[in-house]
Amino acid sequence: MLEYPHSLVSIQDYERFIGAEAVERIYAKAEPLEGIRTVNVNSTYYGGGVAEILNSRVLLMNGLGIEEGWRIIHGTPDFFSITKKMHNALQGAEINLTDRKRHIYEDVIFENAIRNHLDHDFVIIHDPQPLPMIKHYRKYGPWVWRCHIDLTRPNRELWDYLLPIIEKYDGVVFSIKEYAQKLRTPSVFIMPAIDPFSIKNKELDAEEVKERLDHYGIPTDLPLVAQVSRFDLWKDPMGVIEAFRLARKEVECTLVMVGNPATDDPEGAQVYESLLGCQEERIKILSVQDSALVNAVQRAAYVVVQKSLREGFGLTVAEAMWKGTPVIGGNVGGIRHQIRDGVNGFLVSSVTETAQRLVQLLKDKKLREEMGRKARETVKENFLMSRYVEQNLDLYNSFETIYRMHPAPGLA
């Protein structure tokens, strides 16, 4: 066998950020759970916030002695086109929910249920794509639906269709209280978090940053403004370009928009292509899958924009804030829980407001530094993976009596 020094980040590594006491507390919460088998199910292994969180969370949980797994459902293009429409409708868009669509959705999930044998002590199903999985299993422990979407105003027709499925779960997790729905199933609220040790968030020196930007031909002669997001209309990419064009009338700068395709988001390619016509010397639009580039761009930018119109949480906001970069974020969803307007960033509701804040920040180095410092502090206090893991341990422990009875077939 090849000798290779593998190493994994553990909760112990977070001590430098959260202190020894918090680390001890997390280990103590994990101790009674040692050896339980848990599994996450979602619909992509890269290209969005859910995959990003699962990457770190699953490894940390295993380091804590929990046998946590991660399964990804397979689907046809038709299936992902329908589930993206559902995603949009849960965020408030219209949907034409025909029988044909329901059948494709439920048939693909049935096939996934046949392929995946889930007899775990705890099952966590992420977002609407694999939601109906629960219909096809005998439960051996609690099943939780973890919804990452901005549910401020879900489309009622779709919600009514999904509700009986959601209520089969033993618990539902939303990112923030504002997304609570009328449900018979108990709800808890856990905000996502970032991994400070990942390639995307770890420290980079100026040379490493420059190397990545040069590699993609991103000019650094003028102040950089950036948005990093899947190419999705909810992220309002055209609004970002319009705001940038307005701001540029007053301050010289370059805009870079970095996005990646996600296997469960078939609309991305179309949105990306629709933006290409806006490319010019000072507007770069890149579709790549490169975490080190995301890291470099979020560090090099004078200002990061996340001008979302809906946003379940917005990991990209916390990622940039962690790097000490001030963020101008849409005044929606989870972004409002990260940015305190005028303190560690700005919240905006229009293109003109975005442009005004861009000009203000680009012209004022002291303000950028002050907000950036507070932004990093906010993430350190609230949005690191250690807090996220701890809250999920609390969730596991809250069901303790159920799985301690071990295993009770037909529990459902």
* Shortest distance in whole angstroms from residue 199 CB to ligand UDP: 10
Of the pair 331, 360, the CB lying nearest ligand UDP is at: 331
Of the pair 174, 313, the CB lying nearest ligand UDP is at: 313
Residues 51-90 binding ligand UDP (CB under 6 A) are: 52
* Shortest distance in whole angstroms from residue 118 CB to ligand UDP: 24
* Shortest distance in whole angstroms from residue 284 CB to ligand UDP: 13
* Shortest distance in whole angstroms from residue 46 CB to ligand UDP: 8
Q: Angle between the 351-363 and 237-248 helix axes, to the nearest 10 degrees?
A: 50
Taking contact as CB under 6 A, which single stretch among the options 57-65, 311-319, 387-395, 400-408 is the one that binds ligand UDP?
311-319
Site string for ligand UDP, 319-348 (x = CB under 6 A): x-----------------------------
If one asks whether residue 218 binds ligand UDP (CB under 6 A), the answer comes out as: no
Of the pair 113, 335, the CB lying nearest ligand UDP is at: 335
Among residues 230, 299, 307, 323, the one that binds ligand UDP under rule CB under 6 A: 230
Among residues 43, 91, 129, 229, the one that binds ligand UDP under rule CB under 6 A: 229
Site string for ligand UDP, 18-57 (x = CB under 6 A): ------------------------------xx--x-----
* Shortest distance in whole angstroms from residue 327 CB to ligand UDP: 11
If one asks whether residue 316 binds ligand UDP (CB under 6 A), the answer comes out as: yes
Residues 195-214 binding ligand UDP (CB under 6 A) are: 200
Taking contact as CB under 6 A, which single stretch among the options 84-92, 219-227, 238-246, 256-264 is the one that binds ligand UDP?
256-264
Among residues 128, 223, 239, 259, the one that binds ligand UDP under rule CB under 6 A: 259
Of the pair 27, 45, the CB lying nearest ligand UDP is at: 45
Taking contact as CB under 6 A, which single stretch among the options 172-180, 209-217, 223-231, 367-375 is the one that binds ligand UDP?
223-231
Characterize 146-155 residue by residue with b for buried, 16 or more Cβ atoms within 10 angstroms of its Cβ, and e for exposed. bbbbbbbebb
Long-range contacts of 372-375 (CB under 8 A, 24+ apart): 372/321, 372/324, 372/325, 372/326, 373/324, 374/343, 374/344, 375/320, 375/321, 375/322, 375/324, 375/325, 375/326, 375/327, 375/344, 375/345
* Shortest distance in whole angstroms from residue 13 CB to ligand UDP: 20
* Shortest distance in whole angstroms from residue 63 CB to ligand UDP: 21
**Binding residues vs ligand UDP (CB under 6 A):** 48-49, 52, 200, 228-230, 258-260, 291, 294, 313-316, 319
